[in-house]
């Protein structure tokens, strides 16, 4: 039955893999961990694992001004546009720089999540993974930081709420760094539930005190392993998600909590990402008609990142 459904849905009912070549042109300098090779490694591993051919590859459009303006005020967008250099790099903070390829990449990264929402809500795909950079979850409504310029997930959430009149949308964030931007944008919005785990104390040095009742933040101590992560999901996330009954699930999919990633000090492995994806698939099946939009955030050890994304996407594509 599942095979028949997949073959008769638009796009074959395949998981959408949404990206854009401009995301490879954003470069913050030699040796910077948020590098173009991240996307190359992901694609190569998906192909080597014979998963890529079972995905529906889609080219991301650029986000529109209207879609961006739901999250970022015009003066902030104009500021980012004004910072875009024609040559060299411009630093918006000590960690976050723009080169001539950054602005197109950022516009297509946000556009990818909007496209994912439209495909999933329109029945063109059961779920979607956005292989994009720059990441987005540290970007606040009017502040770029932590390698992020526009909050890709937030732009997608706002599009879903506005265009599809959804009443309950969940954002799941398992990056090693707290998604402070997403929290700042949606604090006290009863239509959005954000659940997250992250290392604490650690950059961006917040999240331990939630900004709103719709935020379920679970800080993890340095050295925590998959066991502590799974306990947080099982005993804190899942009951709250069942209570909330989301109509659409977004995942800020950061893979820098992997034990091989030296950007953090948590001990997750591929099996943990596979497990949490399965838990979220079950929530989506129960309340969201299976609809999940996942977007890449962190993950800086190329091998660990590629293997972890492959584990995540395999679960999404297996249905």
**From CA 43, how far away is CA 174, in angstroms rounded?**
21
Active-site annotation, residues: 138
Strands (E), 60-203: 90-93, 96-98, 127-130, 169-173, 192-199
Which residues on neighbouring strands pair with residue 130, listed in sequence order? 18, 295
H/E run at residue 79: helix 74-83
The CA angle 60-65-67, to the nearest 5 degrees, is 65
Q: Please name the residues in contact with 31: beta carbons below 8 A apart, sequence gap of 6 or more.
A: none
Q: Convert 199-268 into a string of H (helix), E (strand) and C (coil).
A: ECCCCCCCCCCCCCCCEEEEEECCCCEHHHHHHHHHHHHHHHHHHHCCCEEEEEECCCCECCCCCCCCEE
């Amino acid at each position: 039955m599942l095979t028949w459904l997949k073959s008769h849905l638009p796009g074959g009912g395949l998981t959408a893999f949404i990206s854009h070549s401009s995301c490879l042109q954003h470069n913050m300098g030699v040796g910077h961990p948020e590098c173009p090779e991240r996307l190359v490694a992901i694609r190569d591993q998906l192909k080597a694992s014979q998963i890529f051919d079972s995905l529906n590859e889609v080219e991301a459009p650029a986000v529109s001004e209207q879609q961006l303006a739901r999250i970022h005020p015009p003066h902030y967008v104009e500021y980012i546009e004004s910072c875009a250099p024609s040559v060299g790099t411009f630093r918006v903070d000590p960690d976050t720089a723009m080169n001539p390829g950054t602005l197109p990449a950022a516009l297509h990264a946000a556009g990818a999540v909007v496209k994912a929402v439209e495909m999933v809500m329109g029945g063109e795909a059961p779920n979607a993974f956005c292989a994009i950079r720059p990441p987005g979850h540290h970007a606040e409504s009017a502040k770029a930081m932590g390698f992020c310029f526009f909050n890709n997930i937030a732009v997608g959430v706002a599009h879903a709420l506005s265009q599809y009149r959804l009443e309950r949308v969940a954002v799941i964030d398992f990056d090693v760094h707290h998604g402070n931007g997403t929290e700042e944008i949606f604090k006290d919005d009863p239509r959005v539930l954000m659940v997250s785990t992250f290392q604490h104390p650690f950059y961006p040095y917040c999240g331990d005190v939630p900004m709103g009742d719709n935020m379920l933040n679970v800080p993890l101590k340095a050295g925590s392993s998959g066991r502590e992560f799974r306990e947080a999901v099982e005993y804190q996330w899942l009951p709250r998600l069942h209570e909330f009954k989301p109509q659409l699930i977004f995942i800020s999919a950061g893979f820098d909590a992997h034990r091989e990633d030296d950007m953090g000090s948590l001990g997750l492995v591929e099996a943990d990402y596979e497990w949490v994806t399965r838990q979220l698939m079950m929530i989506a099946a129960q309340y969201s008609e299976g609809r999940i939009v996942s977007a890449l955030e962190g993950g800086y050890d190329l091998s660990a990142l590629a293997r972890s994304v492959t584990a995540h996407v395999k679960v999404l594509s297996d249905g």
